[in-house]
């Protein structure tokens, strides 16, 4: 298992100290570690398990069950495509298929250059403007394949 770098270990310890006394703290601890580091490194699992008196398997099971938790750093830009019913009825599945091809990755993956991560999301609250997506926290509605390409191009480095 990969060892944590000292700054990562210290960040995990700070989160654990702050949250381990709460009832059923595992989910909150995992959210805290991801917030602090951007992902949950494999090397954090033994430390979390030990401090919460859980098995490594229990901690790993929760991390892998919830898609929200990342096992590796996210890309520079996070692209979230809405998968809720309203967006699905307006072409979100085709948009997601296009995004997979355009970015060359599947959901929960990051492009090899580390620029983009593609994530599904189950309602952005923009149902009247379906299909919707969010890039780095900015919401876009009525997104077509062409508009998707333009939005991605706008995030790419200028040459």
Residue 1: inside a domain: no
Residue 76 confidence (pLDDT) above 80: yes
Per-residue model confidence (pLDDT) at position 95: 98
Regarding whether 88 and 61 lie in a shared domain, the answer is no
In a domain, 96, yes or no: yes
Q: Is residue 16 part of a domain?
A: yes
Report the CATH number at residue 146. 3.40.30.10
Q: Which of 39, 60, 38 shows the shortest CA–CA distance to 48?
A: 60
Structure confidence at residue 67 as a pLDDT band (50, 70, 90):
confident
Q: Which residues pair with 134 in a beta bridge?
A: 80, 139
What pLDDT score does 157 carry?
Answer: 75
Place of tokens 């296009």: 98
Tell me whether residue 72 is in a domain.
no
- When divided into structural domains, the chain yields a total of 2
Question: What would the DSSP string read from start to end of 98-148?
Answer: HHHHHHT--TTEE-TTSSEEEEEES--S-GGG-S-EEETTEEE-S--HHHH
Do 82 and 134 reside in the same domain of the chain?
yes
Buried b or exposed e, range 15-53, using 16+ CB within 10 angstroms: bbeebeeeeebbeebbbbbbebbebbbbebbebbbebbe
Q: Rounded to whole angstroms, how far apart are CA atoms 127 and 159?
A: 36
Same domain for 11 and 60, yes or no, is: yes
Model pTM greater than 0.85? Answer: no
Does one domain contain both 24 and 51? yes
Q: Is residue 133 part of a domain?
A: yes
Residue ranges making up the domain that contains 45: 6-65
Question: Looking at the structure, do residues 61 and 108 belong to the same domain, yes or no?
Answer: no
Average pLDDT, the chain: 95
Each residue's pLDDT tens digit, 15-57: 999 999 999 999 999 999 999 999 999 999 999 999 999 999 9
Helix and strand totals (H; E) in the chain = 7, 5
């Amino acid at each position: 298992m990969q060892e944590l770098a000292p700054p990562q270990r210290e960040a995990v310890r700070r989160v654990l100290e702050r949250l381990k006394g709460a009832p059923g703290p595992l989910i909150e601890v995992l959210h805290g570690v991801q917030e602090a580091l951007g992902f949950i490194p494999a090397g954090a699992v033994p430390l979390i398990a030990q401090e919460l008196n859980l098995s490594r398997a229990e901690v790993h099971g929760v991390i892998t069950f919830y898609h929200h938790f990342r096992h590796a750093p996210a890309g520079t830009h996070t692209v979230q495509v809405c998968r809720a019913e309203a967006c699905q009825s307006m072409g979100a599945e085709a948009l997601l298929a296009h995004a997979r091809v355009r970015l060359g990755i599947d959901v929960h993956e990051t492009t090899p250059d580390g620029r983009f991560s593609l994530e599904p999301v189950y309602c952005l609250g923009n149902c009247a403007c379906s299909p919707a997506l969010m890039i780095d926290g900015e919401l876009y509605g009525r997104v077509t394949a062409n508009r998707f390409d333009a939005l991605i191009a706008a995030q790419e480095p200028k040459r």
